[in-house]
Amino acid sequence: MKLGLFGANMSEHPDPDTVATVARAAEDAGFDSLWMGEHVVLPVPRVPPSPLEPDAPVLDPLIALTFAAAHTTRLRLATGIIILPQRNPLVLAKELASLDVLSAGRLIFGVGVGYLEPEFRAIGANFADRGAVTDEYLDAIALLWYSPTPAYGGRFVSFGAVDAHPRPVQQPVPIVIGGRSPAAFRRAVSRAHGWFGFALDREGAKECLAGIAEARHRVERPSGTGELEITVAPRGPLTRERVEAFAELGVHRLVALPGPHGGRDELLRTIEQAAHTLD
């Protein structure tokens, strides 16, 4: 069972020392990956389904992961997740490739379609078509990373007669799809290396894995993609019994979640407790 950590960019006080200390502690404890989510803006006042109060500090995950990369040598650096349809795909492709280069090939590109309409509205992003936008943006990013002559013409993004270097160190960069919908399961099976389930208990994970299994019967998995790696971030402490229960389901990685405040001390306690469980 691989072990990841979530939330170093969302702690009570996400200062440089917290991010660096937590990243080093996770690496020293044998964690394989550091996961960071994003919200560019949050609605005021907080309204469902917003996950956070509007004054909750959230560092940009790419900047925070790049900072963490400078303080570690082995830890995989995962966006868990980037809200892809809120981003410019060409700019994002450059940012992600830069992170992969500067970290010597440690990027995991986790994406989701998003769900918070007020955030999309404030950014000026297309909420109604966010699933279709996500699919086009994934295609566009792949062309910029891997094609010798990148060009794309779609409904939501179009470019040609351009190029972008440096390319990522990893060929390919692992893509992980987050989400619990049939569309997310289809996207994971048909175009990704992994799937990420956030804040799930065992029964929730079991239901999602059943949805992924059903998607395998409906869509073709590209050759050479390999086994779909399953990552789950369960709520609550990672006891040995819970780890074994998730392993029985076929989960490959558990991402430890800190408590609701997520301060530096709480993150360090989460690392210690999870590492002790898997020792």
CATH 3.20.20.30 matches 2-236+254-262+272-277: yes
**CA-to-CA distance for 179 and 81, rounded, in angstroms?**
9
Q: Which residue has the tokens 């229960």?
A: 245
What residues does each domain of the chain span?
A: 2-236+254-262+272-277
pLDDT of residue 170 exceeding 80, the answer is yes
The string of pLDDT tens digits covering residues 195-251 is: 999 999 999 999 999 999 999 999 999 988 899 999 999 988 899 999 999 999 999
Contact 161, 94 (CB under 8 A): no
pLDDT band at 177 (very low <50, low <70, confident <90, very high): very high
**CA-to-CA distance for 160 and 151, rounded, in angstroms?**
4
What pLDDT sits at residue 279? 79
Between the CA of residue 221 and those of 11, 218, 250, what are the distances in Å? 37, 10, 18
**CA-to-CA distance for 154 and 266, rounded, in angstroms?**
45
Contact 9, 40 (CB under 8 A): no
Which residues are 231's β-sheet partners? 196, 253
Q: Which two tokens stand for residue 204?
A: 């929730």
The pTM (predicted TM-score) of the whole model is: 0.97
